[in-house]
């Protein structure tokens, strides 16, 4: 089997093998010449999006509609093959455009640039540490990123430059990461085209390894979504996790709440809770008589959640590994039963031990937010063995021009109706 990048289904191409070898399960190749193009093929909007260029965008050569169809096919295949899901019973898989999408461009509010040996900003080649310079910028970067014109000037002495630009406005944050051996006192940073806070990411061996030191302004940004019809602000330190697409956080929150429909006084678990996006929504629906236990292992994300939810008394934040909290969750709940659960694990998925622990609590519904269809499918298979079924699936094109996709799967006890 050969995976051919930059080709589309039905095309005839001339491909160059890039990874091969005896005993490999599959080879990789790049389509270097298209002999019979697909009707879905379009010119890539970025000059370095082709073979040998930037490794960030996989599908700039396809229409946005074709990209979404391709992602839907991947989700369906993985659910059927790895998850054992009866697709006829589930219905057709569709990947929806995120509200506010503009032909898949200008959406990325969080961009990490690599820096080459000449101080130019760029991105790594596909499956490589080589840096491809992008002097004309990145077409999928949000306008608030592009207007800083970071790629038009040199950044000597740095390994990376990150920019965080909240779509709703407010201060942007620029994070510089010095190259190994570069001291903070000799950083030569160019002027910026706009007001921007500035921070330095600390290297390995520093007491705050991976943390931020303030250079100018604050080291966090403010994001906002509507919770129960009212704006709710979230503090996000540095490049801490928040959806990169401006419309993604809102649509995922709304979809999770519609799937679970938490009721007043109910008890909810928000696992891998990050900065507290889903906890805020759950808290609004269960009300003061309800309880939300949010679990997040990352110290900075848990601290952000505490600041963002400090006025919400029904939320309890546990900074620990999910499996450890689940092992003692009965005591945390004070005898209450778990009604609904949000699972939003990292790309590798929740995994069998966590899924089994969650479903042993017998919630009436679980909303599983997944950014990898294969990991989701494996966990759905585990859920089936625990007496739960996949009742509903929605998928969103939160990463246009790339192969990434976000799913929200609703799991309910076998024989039960979907939650909403």
Catalytic positions are 371
Tell the burial category of 179 from Cβ atoms under 10 Å away from its Cβ (0-12, 13-18, 19+).
middle
Pairwise CA distance, residues 142 & 130, whole Å = 24
Give the residue carrying structure tokens 């699972």. Answer: 343
Q: Are 172 and 196 a contacting pair, CB within 8 Å? A: yes
**Torsion, Cα of 74, 76, 78, 81 (10° steps):** -130
Measured in degrees and rounded to the nearest 5, phi and psi for residue 158 equal -115, 150
Pairwise CA distance, residues 284 & 282, whole Å = 5
């Amino acid at each position: 089997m050969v995976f051919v990048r930059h080709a589309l289904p039905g095309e005839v191409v001339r491909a160059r093998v890039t990874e091969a070898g005896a005993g490999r399960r599959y080879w990789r190749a790049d389509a270097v010449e298209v002999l019979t193009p697909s009707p879905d093929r379009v010119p890539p909007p970025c000059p370095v999006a082709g073979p040998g260029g930037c490794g960030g965008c996989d599908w700039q050569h396809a229409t946005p509609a074709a990209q979404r169809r391709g992602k839907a096919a991947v989700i369906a295949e993985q659910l059927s093959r790895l998850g054992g899901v009866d697709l006829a019973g589930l219905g057709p898989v569709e990947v929806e455009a995120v509200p506010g999408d503009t032909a898949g461009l200008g959406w990325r509010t969080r961009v990490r640039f690599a820096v080459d040996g000449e101080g130019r900003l760029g991105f790594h080649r596909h499956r490589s540490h080589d840096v491809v310079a992008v002097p004309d910028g990145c077409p999928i970067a949000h306008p608030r990123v592009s207007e800083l014109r970071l790629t038009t000037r040199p950044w000597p002495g740095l390994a990376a430059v990150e920019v965080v630009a909240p779509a709703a406005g407010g201060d942007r944050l620029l994070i510089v990461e010095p190259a190994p051996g570069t001291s903070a006192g000799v950083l030569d940073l160019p002027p910026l085209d706009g007001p921007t806070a500035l921070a330095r990411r600390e290297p390995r061996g520093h007491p705050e390894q991976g943390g931020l030191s303030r250079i100018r302004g604050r080291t966090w940004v403010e994001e906002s979504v509507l919770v129960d019809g009212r704006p709710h602000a979230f503090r996000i330190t540095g490049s801490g996790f928040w959806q990169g697409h401006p419309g993604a956080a809102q649509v995922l929150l709304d979809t999770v709440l519609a799937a679970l429909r938490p009721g007043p006084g109910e008890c909810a678990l928000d696992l891998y809770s990050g900065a507290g996006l889903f906890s805020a929504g759950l808290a609004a629906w269960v009300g003061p008589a309800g309880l939300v236990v949010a679990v997040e292992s990352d110290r900075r994300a848990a601290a952000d959640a505490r600041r963002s939810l400090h006025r919400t008394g029904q939320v309890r934040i546990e900074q620990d590994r999910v499996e450890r909290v689940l092992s003692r969750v009965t005591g945390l709940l004070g005898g209450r039963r778990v009604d609904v659960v949000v699972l939003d694990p990292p790309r590798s998925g929740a995994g069998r031990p966590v899924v089994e622990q969650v479903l042993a609590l017998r919630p009436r519904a679980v909303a599983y937010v997944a950014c990898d269809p294969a990991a989701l499918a494996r966990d759905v298979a585990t859920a089936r063995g625990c007496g739960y079924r996949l009742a509903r699936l929605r998928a969103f094109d939160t990463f246009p021009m790339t192969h990434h996709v976000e799913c929200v799967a609703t799991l309910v006890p076998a024989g039960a109706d979907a939650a909403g």
